[in-house]
Structure 1
Amino acid sequence: MTETPDTANPPDRIGIVGLGKMGRPVGRHLRAAGYSVTGFDPSPEAAALAREAGIDTLECTAALAAVSDLVLVLVGFDDEVEASVFGPCGVIEGAHPGTTVAIGSTISPSYARSLASRLADGGMIPLDVPSARGEKAVEEGTILLLGAGDKDTFDRWRPAFETFCADILHLGDFGAGQIAKLANNMILWASMAANDEALRLAEALGADKEAVRDALSISSARNWALTTRAEEKPIPWAEKDIRLALSEADDLQFPLHVAAAAGEAMKAFKARHQIPTPKPTRGKCR
């Protein structure tokens, strides 16, 4: 974890767009380290929970950008990123020249490339900061940051990222972080689908499923989803993540046999367990 910023100087001002299961704990870690944190979320419930955690909230992303040196965008979908940044009352309306806009949402690499050029055209500095390891890790401040973008700007904000990350990587130009996150998610969902199918087969054949899981956890089949029992935690984004991968691959005429199968397997898994798939909120400023 980083040290608290020098109290002799005004604290860096950080705005967070999206105050859900990612944005709220990120804001809490930043505040604990001494940063000035302001947030926005179109959900009154999410905004209220953020205020309970000590995060000041504003009524739109333009107002948030106007008082921020770094804007972290932590919403769920490409169109939510678009609305938050370029829509009415969006970040671009309030940001001052040189504002850093860091995209922590999982978005398509194709959209990321166009987003970077549009942010730069608006006088902002784009960073790519998706993460991995799940909700427990963000609550604990131990996520992996898959960073990309201007290296000097990234290093300038590294101390802030260290407040909620255990590992921070800079992978190259803007969009490289999203490519790494796409690869991560393809492997994650394929692993989870394989774990589920194998354990259900073991049980159907008469073995104790938990005993088999324990054995696999120390075998050559060991994987993160298996050992963390990831299937018991909320997994709302599986189809979205796999659709992103399949769409990017379609543009390249690149076959993804395993990802396609994993997508169907995860749909069946979620249907069996009645797990809903989130939809874009399309929230607007009030």
Structure 2
Amino acid sequence: MTKIAFIGLGNMGSGMCANLAKAGNEVRAFDLSADAIRKAEEAGAKGAPSVGAAVEGAEVVVTMLPAGKHVHQVYFGEDGVTSNAAPGTLFIDCSTIAVEEAREAASKASEAGFTYMDAPVSGGTAAADAGALTFMVGGPDDGFARAKPVLDIMGKNVFHAGAAGNGQVAKIANNMLLGISMIGTCEAFNLAEKLGLDAQTFYDISSTASGQCWSMTSYCPAPGPVPTAPSNRDYQPGFAVAMMLKDLRLALGAAEGAGAETPLGGHARDIYAKLDEDGHAGLDFSGVMKRLKGEI
């Protein structure tokens, strides 16, 4: 049994926290939402009234937060993690933040006597609930060895991407590819329909041909072929437009700093930004299909 503090019980964090508790760990959970804490308690965790109370005595701190500013505030702000954790505590941040924000957090944590691992996730809410996430982990080898048994409870794939910040590199590059491929998949299904080919027939052909991709076979944006896809529940997320837009902006910001050419990434960002501006931030990112069909 490991003593774990879990901070950030949103759509992803709630399932992750529940799986850690169900595995027999002593989990103390904190979130700004009392409702979220209550749900964590129902799943077997112990609710904490503050970050400090959650962290006190913990061997491992796991965080799942919205953005880099929240990560830095929770870890290094007044009454934050570093001012309450015991020396040597392992920090595992599963948030998706900028590469440089992760590297700065790792440096500050190390200076204070802690090990910080950036471990962003892929897989969405269903995978979080099922303990089937993919983790991309940046940080030192010894930190990865300590983190992996914890991450294995929450995920089915755990990869060490290298030094601090490399987990974020893997995540934003992967999600840029996902955003681009989803738009292409939507365009292909829309074209097939316009030319008289139904979605199921096109899926049966393309899913076994050279156009096959995850956006098609696991998350099909056309209603019908993949029953579990958000397209079959009116594009309720899932993975929302706002979250894809955040990741694309992180990817494009990192690309600019590195001098990497990402023209399709920029076009994908613009498409999701327009959906966001038009009031569709809460739509699943596969909802690009609705825009192409003129439904929104």
How far apart are the structure 2 equivalents of 1:39 and 1:97?
Answer: 20
The counterpart of 1:253, out of the listed 255, 259, 278, is 259
Identical amino acids, percent of aligned pairs: 31
Unmatched runs of 5 consecutive residues or more in structure 1: 1-10, 278-286
The counterpart of 2:90, out of the listed 93, 100, 118, is 100
Residue 269 of structure 1: how far off its partner (Å): 5.4
Aligned pairs, how many? 268
Match of 1:284 in 2: none
Pair 1:215 & 2:205 matched: yes
Aligned ranges 1:98-247 → 2 under 5 Å? 98-229=88-219, 231=221, 232=230, 233-236=237-240, 237-247=243-253
- Which segment is superposed worse, 209-218 or 102-111? 209-218
- What amino acid sits opposite 1:251 in the alignment? G
With over 3 angstroms needed to count, the CA separation of the structure-2 counterparts of 1:194 and 1:266, relative to structure 1, is farther
Do the aligned partners of 2:127 and 2:133 also contact (CA within 8 Å) in 1?
Answer: yes
Q: Deviations over 1:149-183 (max 9, x none)?
A: 12123212322221122121112111111111111
Residue 99 of structure 1: how far off its partner (Å): 1.0
Unmatched runs of 5 consecutive residues or more in structure 2: 222-229, 231-236, 284-296
Residue 67 of structure 1: how far off its partner (Å): 2.6
- Which segment is superposed worse, 48-57 or 176-185? 48-57
TM, length-normalised to structure 2: 0.84
How far apart are the structure 1 equivalents of 2:152 and 2:175?
Answer: 23
Residue 30 of structure 1: how far off its partner (Å): 1.5
Q: Which runs of 4+ in 1 moved over 4 A?
A: 268-273
- Which segment is superposed worse, 62-71 or 259-268? 259-268
Residue 273 of structure 1: how far off its partner (Å): 8.8
TM, length-normalised to structure 1: 0.87
CA RMSD of aligned residues (A): 2.1
Name the SS of the counterpart of 2:158 in structure 1.
strand
With over 3 angstroms needed to count, the CA separation of the structure-2 counterparts of 1:152 and 1:65, relative to structure 1, is same
Q: Deviations over 1:68-114 (max 9, x none)?
A: 11101111211111221122321122111111111110111111111
Q: Deviations over 1:171-201 (max 9, x none)?
A: 2111111111111111111111111122122
- What amino acid sits opposite 2:214 in the alignment? W
With over 3 angstroms needed to count, the CA separation of the structure-2 counterparts of 1:230 and 1:149, relative to structure 1, is farther
Aligned ranges 1:71-110 → 2 under 5 Å? 71-110=61-100
